[in-house]
Amino acid sequence: MKAILSCANTRHFIAFASGMMRLVQRQRVEKYRSHSQLSYIILCRRPTRGDIWLLYETGGAFCLLFLLRTVAQENLRTALQYVVVFMTTQVFALCFTAVVYRASPFHPLAKFPGPFLNKITSLKIALTVASGRRYSIIEKLHKKYGPFLRTGPNTISINLHQAVGPIYASSSAWNKSAAYSLGQLPGAGLFFIRDREAHNFRKRHYWAGAFTSNALSDNYFMLNCRTNFLLDALARRSQGLRGVVDVSTALQHWSHDVTGEFIFGDAYSKNLLRDGDRRGEVAVAIFEMEVFEVLGEVPSLFDVLWYLPLTRIFRAMDVSAERLLALRRSQASQKRNLAYYLLKGGGNSIPSLSDVDLRQETIVAVQAGTNGISTALTFALYYLTRNPKKCEILRDELQLAFPDADPDGSLDPQILGTLPYLNAVVEESLRLGAPLGSFPRVTGKGGAMIAGTYIPEGTIVGVPAWAQNVSEDNFSPSPTSFLPERWLRNEDTPDMCTRSSAMMTFSHGPFGCIGKPLAYQEMRIVISKIVLAYSFSFPVEFNTEIFEDGVRNLRATSFSMPLLLELDRLR
C-alpha cells in the first residue's frame, strides 16, 4: 500500500517539477498534454472552470478509493484515510506551487508592483470588492505603487488616461474578461456578452432602436409623468412638520418605475412611488448585482458556488421578467418601448432572440437603468444641498428659461439640453456620483503596449473608473470637489483642467453604455423639476461625513445612511 501511495505522489511531484522547468524556459505557462495537467489547472493564468476541476478532483478521489478497496484490499476506514491524506497533500502541493510561481520573477506579470496577497490569489481582490470600498482602495493603492498596479495573479489595473483609448474606446477595443460570465446561467444579456463583435451585433440589431432621438422623444411623455409622480411622492413622504424625506429611497423607486415602463410599456403597471416596494424588488436587484460583482473576481469559484442555494438570487428576477414579457406579447402593442425592439429583432434576415435571451435582456435593462441613475441623482441633490449658492445659480437659470412653468407641467427637453449650468451640474454629478471599480478586459493575441509598457497576452486589464474620475491629471483643481464650473468654457475658468474623455461613468467605445442619452435626459428633467419645485436643506440629524463614509459600491451603489432632506414647496 505504501508503495502504491509513494508511487502516486512521486509521479505527481514529477509533473510539478516538469511544469516548473518549462516555466523557467519559456517564462509563461503552456497547456500540457501530459500527465501534468493538474499543474496546468492551478498554474495557468487562464484556469479551467471551477466545477470541472472539482469534478476531476472528486472523480480522482473515488477512483483512488476504488483501487485501494479492490486492488490493495484495504478496509474502508484505512482506504478513506489514505484518500484524505493523498488529496490533502495534492491540493497543498498545487496551492504551494501556484503561490511560488505567481510570486516568482518568472511570472509574466512579475514586473508589475502590487500587494503580495493580490499577486498570489484572486480571493484578496474579491474581499476588497465585498467591502464595497474597492473604488477608494484601488485609488489609494495606485498612489502608493504607481499607474500600473497588479491587483490579482493575472490582473493589472492601469490608472492612466492613455489606456482608455486602446482598451475601451477604439473600434478594436478588447473583449470582456470572464468576470462577465454569469456562472452557468442560460442565455446572455447584452451586458454579459464578452466578445466585441457579438456584443455589437446584439446592440445594433436589438437595442439601438430604443435609444434613437425619435424613440427617446416618444418616451418623454412617460418620463415626465413618472417624474411628476416623484414630486407627489416626495410631498407624501414628508415626515412631521419639518418635511424630512428619504430622497435616496424615493429615487430608487422612481428609477424602477421609469425603467419598467421604458422596457415593457403598458405591461408594467407597478407604481413603487405610490405603493412602496412591498416585494423588495429594489433590494433583490441590488443584491443580485453585488453577488455577481464579488464572484466575478473569482470565476472558478463562481462555477462551483453556482450549484449552491446562494446563487438562486440570479433566478429571482426571472419570474417577473417572464410574466411581463408574456403580457407585453399578448398586448401586441406597437408602442416603441425596448421590449418592442427586442421582440421585433433587426429584420427578416436577423434571427429572433430566444425566450431565454429575451428574459436575460430585460433583466439586464432593469439592472442597468435603475441603480446607476438613482445613485447619480442622489449625489446631485446631495452636492446641491451642500452647495446652496450653486443650487441658487441653477434655480435662477431654470426660472429664466421657464418663467411661467409649473414644475408639474412639461419642461421642453430641447431647452433643458441647452442650459449650460444645468448640464454642468449633470456632468459633475455623473463624475462624482459613480464610485465604480473597473471594466475588466482581456489583452488580445500577441499582447499590447500601453504607455510604453508591454502587457502580456491573456492578461486581465482594467482602468479604475473612480480613480480616473477624481484624478488631478484629468480634473483639476480640487478633483474631489463639486465644481460644475469646471465644465463651463469661459474666462472665469481658464486654469481648470476638464478632460471629459477620461470620465469612465458610462465606459467608452463598443462596450460603452447604450443608455447614456436616456440617462442624461433623466438627469436633466429630475434635477430641474425638483429644484424648481422645492428648496431643500439637510435636517439637523443628518451627518454628511457619515453619509459619505457609508457609500458602498459592488457594481450597485448603496448608502448606509439614506439621503435625508428637508423640503419646502416653492411652486
Collect all residues with Cβ–Cβ distance below 8 Å to 410 and sequence separation of at least 6.
221, 224
7 is annotated as contributing to ligand binding: no
Say how far apart CA 45 and CA 53 lie, in whole Å.
Answer: 15
Q: What is the CA radius of gyration of the chain?
A: 27
CA angle at 268 for the pair 267 and 273, rounded to the nearest 5°:
160
Q: What is the DSSP letter of 478?
A: S
Strand partners, 62: none
Say how far apart CA 556 and CA 313 lie, in whole Å.
Answer: 15
CA distances to 62, 183, 276, 549, 556 from 378, rounded to whole Å, are: 55, 32, 18, 15, 13
Say how far apart CA 127 and CA 117 lie, in whole Å.
Answer: 11
Contact in structure between 464 and 159 (CB atoms under 8 Å): yes
Tallying the residues shown for the chain, one arrives at 571
What's the distance, CA 190 to chain centroid? 13
Q: Please give the grid coordinates belonging to residue 463.
A: 482602468
Contact in structure between 445 and 476 (CB atoms under 8 Å): no
Contact in structure between 394 and 384 (CB atoms under 8 Å): yes
SS3 for 551-562 is: EEEECEEEECCC
3-state secondary structure (DSSP) of residue 150: strand
Q: What is the DSSP letter of 225?
A: H
Say how far apart CA 202 and CA 208 lie, in whole Å.
Answer: 9
Closest CA to 525 of 389, 384, 410, 390: 410
DSSP-assigned states of every residue in 69-138: HHTS---HHHHHHHHHHHHHHHHHHHHHHHHHHHHSTTSTTTTS---HHHHH-THHHHHHHHTT-HHHHH
Say how far apart CA 429 and CA 448 lie, in whole Å.
Answer: 34
Q: Name the phi and psi angles at 568, rounded to 5.
A: -125, 125
Q: Please give the grid coordinates belonging to residue 451.
A: 504607455
CA distances to 164, 285, 498 from 451, rounded to whole Å, are: 11, 38, 21
Kindly provide the residue ranges of all beta strands, DSSP E only, lying in 383-452, ordered along the sequence: 441-442, 448-450
The annotation places the binding site at: 513
The annotation places the binding site for heme at: 513
